[in-house]
Amino acid sequence: MTATYINLHDVSFHAFHGVLPQERAVGADFVVNLRVGYDVTKAMETDDVADTLNYAQLYELVRREMDQPSNLLEHVAGRIVKAVNTAFPAVTSIDLKLTKLNPPMGADCRGAGVEIHVSELGIRSDK
């Protein structure tokens, strides 16, 4: 079987996630990388956007979740995974990396964040 994916790479957001009051007031810059397992073989033949997962719709879903402030990146990431799974039931896996650039922790680093890897979605039973 062939594995196929829809990707969003290095999508930048300015958002208001964080535990510290300053983070919630002025915000910070974040980067999202998302890989969604989705069968695109029909679209490969038809050249019709209706036969694939539209990455613009996927972006809008991520943007809506990034617009909702949270204390923890884990909470934001969990909401994104849940929203993708709910909106696109044919998704078979989700790999999400959410990074806060230049986090306020006194370290010289490019970022810190969370990764979530969910597999075996789309293999659902009504039993």
Task: Tell me, yes or no, if 82 is annotated catalytic.
Answer: no
What are residue 11's phi and psi, to 5 degrees? -80, 125
Which of 12, 30, 18, 33 lies closest to 104, judged by CA?
Answer: 18
**Catalytically annotated residue among 42, 97, 100, 127:** 100
SS (H, E, C) 14-68: EECCCCCHHHHHHCEEEEEEEEEECCCHHHHHHCCHHHCCCHHHHHHHHHHHHCC
Indicate which residues carry an active-site annotation. Answer: 100
